[in-house]
Chain A
Amino acid sequence: MRLLALGLLAWVCACSGPPAPDAALCQDVITRMCLARTCTGVNEQLVLGNMDCQSTLQERTGCGGEDFAFSSPSRERVLRCRLPLVRQSTDPAKAPTCEDVDEVLEDCPDLIGFLGGR
């Protein structure tokens, strides 16, 4: 009976919808990076200055269009680099911690480069 309950709980937790398109995934990463803009080094590495974060990064990456698809870095790489950003929560309104953002800045220079940073 306990195994049955545990199995059902796992099934409930694993419940999810279809894969999100690359454009939506890209915009989700931009949103989370912009929420962490106040963290040390984010503004500098992404070379944002006083510009609007969301629109600037969308413009640089070109993922504002519906038919956007990842090439370099790949979708899998973006997903791996995104993991620290969703460690606290997958809620897009909740900012990641500065430690998690630092991890991304350090471990994913290809993603930073994709976002137009240095």
Chain B
Amino acid sequence: MKWKRWMACGLVLAVGCAPMQTERRTERGPLLRTYAKEVTLGERTLAADVEAKWPKLQFHFVSSELCRSEQHEEFVENIITERYEPSAGPAISAGAANTAVGAGLLLARPLFSTAPDRDVIDREGRYGASTQRVATVWGVVLVSLGVPALITGIIQTVRAGEETETRKADAVVSLREEPCRPQPASGTVEFAGGAGTPPEPRPLANGTLELTTDELRGMSFTGVLIGGEPAVISEEDQELLALFRLCSRMLAEPMEPTALAQEEAEHLQVLRKRVVGCKALPGAPVEERVKLLDAALAARGDSPEPTDAPTVGSFEDAVAAYPQALTITGDSPELDKLQDPERLVGQAVLLRGVLERREGENIAVVQVGGTRVLVFVAPDRLWAQDFPRGSRVELVGVVMGRQRLGALDAPLVRAVWMRTAL
């Protein structure tokens, strides 16, 4: 009986350490909550906001701490441990087959002959084993191999499975560094970056520095500092500062109707555009100047571009922004309508023709079929390139009426966008 115990122990040892493959994966579960967390980084920033209140320009200096704003998500996390053994199935199959055949051989032992095989004498001078002994040996061998494999397979199958551990997890989903806890800065403002000697430093009043147009005209600077630390000025505010500086000079210059009457129409158009640009500054006195410029342009037979004209960035934009009442080409029936342009004043048209010649920088003569059309081309436009003579062009424009140019009396169209046509 003792040997049976030892055999059992051996079997247990052989199959007890049956290896298992383990796979561990983490799956994200439902979201529990979202929260924000602000962490102070211990650094400070200085920024200046620019505010234009004609005739004054205010710099509001703000000193802030630098904070990191973190957006967190708290969610359930499932850690899934999967134990499996791919050989468990084959082990059970092979083990069961071996055990069945081995057990069958052992059970059928009495059916086999006990007589030794007298046809063969081995190297030691012994007869060959009897068929019963051969069956016994093979029976024991197959059972010995089959039973452990079967038990191992069963244990592995029983131990296989999934185990899920649930825990709470936290993840940072966004991170942003931004100024926080702003407070008005104090101290003296220094100016830097301009041509020549920098302006004298000026004290701050409640975090604000105020400069008048007269003061600003005499100052040259690109940046401002407090206590040696440069203040950050946004791009928009830098543009506002540049515009305020430009307008403070331009609007201070005297504008006389007699002097304007001597100017070229092209120069007047450019000047008008600049003056109109100063409308972006609240309170800037531009209306009077615009009227003077419009009057000067009208006296020269030139029409000011409407200030409320849509801004276009391409030919397609122009087609979309100016719905065309007419599309006029050399062979279109609408061409006849150009014989009476006064009836089309203010209407947008799409013209296709051949550039015959340029008259100065701002007038082009375009031949559309048998009709010549004068096209006003604003020289400061992005598209206003030097179109070659004889090239096919197409343009979106607004009919201005009839215009005489030397001996030519033709319809006038203000081009919104012109390009070379294919």
Interface of A toward B, CB cutoff 8 Å: 1, 4-5, 8, 11-12, 15-20, 24-25, 28, 75, 79, 82-83, 86, 90-92
**Which residue from B121, B133, B145 sits with its C-beta under 8 Å from A20?**
B121
Closest to A27 in B: B121
- Beta-carbon contact of B127 and A17 below 8 Å: yes
Instruction: Tell me which residues across on chain A come within 8 A of B123, comparing CB atoms.
Output: 79, 82-83, 86, 90
- Beta-carbon contact of A17 and B130 below 8 Å: yes
B257 contacts partner chain A, Cβ-Cβ < 8 Å: no
**Which residue from A1, A8, A11, A28 sits with its C-beta under 8 Å from B121?**
A28
- Beta-carbon contact of A15 and B137 below 8 Å: yes
B117 contacts partner chain A, Cβ-Cβ < 8 Å: yes
Q: A17-B130, A17-B133, A18-B116 are in contact. Are A8 and B125 (CB under 8 A)?
A: no
Q: A1-B148, A4-B144, A24-B118 are in contact. Are A15 and B125 (CB under 8 A)?
A: no
- Beta-carbon contact of B125 and A25 below 8 Å: yes
Residue of A11, A19, A25, A28 ringed by the most chain B CB atoms within 10 A: A19
Interface of B toward A, CB cutoff 8 Å: 14, 116-130, 133-134, 137-138, 140-141, 144-145, 148
- Beta-carbon contact of A12 and B141 below 8 Å: yes
Instruction: Tell me which residues across on chain A come within 8 A of B144, comparing CB atoms.
Output: 4, 8
- Beta-carbon contact of B133 and A15 below 8 Å: yes
Q: A8-B141, A12-B137, A24-B121 are in contact. Are A17 and B126 (CB under 8 A)?
A: yes
Instruction: Tell me which residues across on chain B come within 8 A of A25, comparing CB atoms.
Output: 121, 125
**CA gap between A86 and B294 in the complex, in Å:** 130
B175 CB, min distance to chain A CBs, angstroms: 55
9 contacts between A and B (CB under 8 A): A4-B145, A15-B129, A16-B122, A16-B126, A20-B121, A24-B127, A86-B122, A92-B119, A92-B121
- Beta-carbon contact of A17 and B116 below 8 Å: yes
- Beta-carbon contact of A12 and B138 below 8 Å: yes
Instruction: Tell me which residues across on chain A come within 8 A of B128, comparing CB atoms.
Output: 16-17
Instruction: Tell me which residues across on chain A come within 8 A of B118, comparing CB atoms.
Output: 20, 24
- Beta-carbon contact of B119 and A1 below 8 Å: no
